[in-house]
A and B are shown apart, each in its own frame.
Chain A
């Protein structure tokens, strides 16, 4: 492992060193995976997001000028791609486009993955799923990732005050949902 900074790796990549990209992937893949997993809930969907993120990063690196930190930029791409993936999932679920691809799915899916997909979705995951996108993003970044508000504001390009309000509304809505589901209100 080299101890080159993120920006040095970006510069290396821009100067034609492909290996610098791999090093950035290794450096951030776990963080990105877990953010994606919080959004997507299941492993396969999260894996898909991770790959899409790094493809986008690969393209973006050529023009990366460092207006924000590499880390902020990566998180922003991850949030955007996760939210897009959730929208597509919603549409697909509705139209069951997958029906067309039944054969293909069976072929590519191992037994382990199938078990994972059947994992019981918890109430709280369903509650999070129902949140508006921005609240969902703030909840993932603040509660699970424990990022400071200032960093989240940079990632989501929004104000700290607005974020705090979003976070409160997100958590409150989840609480209300859980209470209703548990029949305590």
Chain B
């Protein structure tokens, strides 16, 4: 057999059939790499068994149906896509997503790690909200246009990434997956947690800040 890595977890947790088990054991005798893998895997299971979540109160499960029914009824009164507020909020939220990406990025190169990114001193100590403002200011003043299939938040993220003014230098392999992840989050996913009252509150805050 080649390396036994894909069998190691089942080996440790006793889920391998005997014949395969013997082959894994034979391989382990001669392979340092798999021995190391086995050690890490075993270490995990010394602790994994100890995670005990408290059981919910007994009446909890009988509350699920009423709660679900309630949600089903309420949501028909409130839909993001029908609401004009959606298009107003999409840009700041998209910008916020970019800002998040920026900040996460900068944090990797913060002065504490020995600064290599020339942007670090500029961004160090800046609050997420400041960056949101900055990004909004940088954005075109004309209505935000997107390709039809594109979500607005994703468009903002994508646009900034492709133009890459400030990100290019800092965009390392470590950070890249995070950006890809970010670009999969749609405005609606960002927003679907909020009800109308909450949106009002966010809007008010944004208005006070002059973002809208």
Contacts and interface: CB of A to CB of B under 8 A. Distances in A.
Interface string B118-139: 0000000000100000000000
> Contact residue range for chain B?
35 or more
A100 B89 CA distance: 15
Nearest to B3: A168
B41 A43 contact: no
Interface in B43-72: 43-45, 47-48, 50-51, 53-54, 56-57, 60-61, 64-65, 67-68, 71-72
B5 interface: yes
Interface in A157-185: 161, 164-165, 167-168, 171-172, 174-176, 178-179
Contacts of B5: 165, 168
Contacts of B61: 29-30, 33
A175 B43 contact: yes
Interface in B97-142: 97, 100, 103-104, 128
Contacts of A179: 40, 43
B22 interface: no
Interface in B191-206: 193, 197-198, 201-202, 205
Nearest to B189: A84
B74 to A, nearest CB: 10
A88 interface: yes
A51 B53 contact: no
SS class of chain A's interface: helix, strand, loop or mixed?
helix
Contact of A100 (B42, B47, B202): B202
Contacts of B50: 122, 124
Contacts of A145: none
A178 B43 CA distance: 8
A125 B198 contact: no
Given A43-B56, A168-B6, A175 B44 contact: yes
B75 interface: yes
A45 to B, nearest CB: 11
Interface string B72-89: 100100000000000000
A123 B202 contact: no
A68 interface: no
Interface in B1-29: 5-9, 13
A155 to B, nearest CB: 18
Contacts of B6: 161, 164-165, 167-168
Interface in A62-102: 84, 87-88, 91, 94-95, 97, 100-101
Interface string A97-119: 10011001000000010001001
Which of A52, A97, A101: most chain B CB closer than 10 A? Answer: A97
A179 B9 CA distance: 17
Contacts of B8: 168, 171
A13 interface: no
10 contacts: A30-B61, A41-B53, A43-B53, A87-B185, A91-B185, A91-B190, A116-B54, A132-B177, A168-B41, A172-B37
Given A33-B64, A51-B71, 8 more contacts: A51-B64, A91-B97, A94-B103, A95-B128, A100-B205, A168-B6, A168-B8, A174-B48
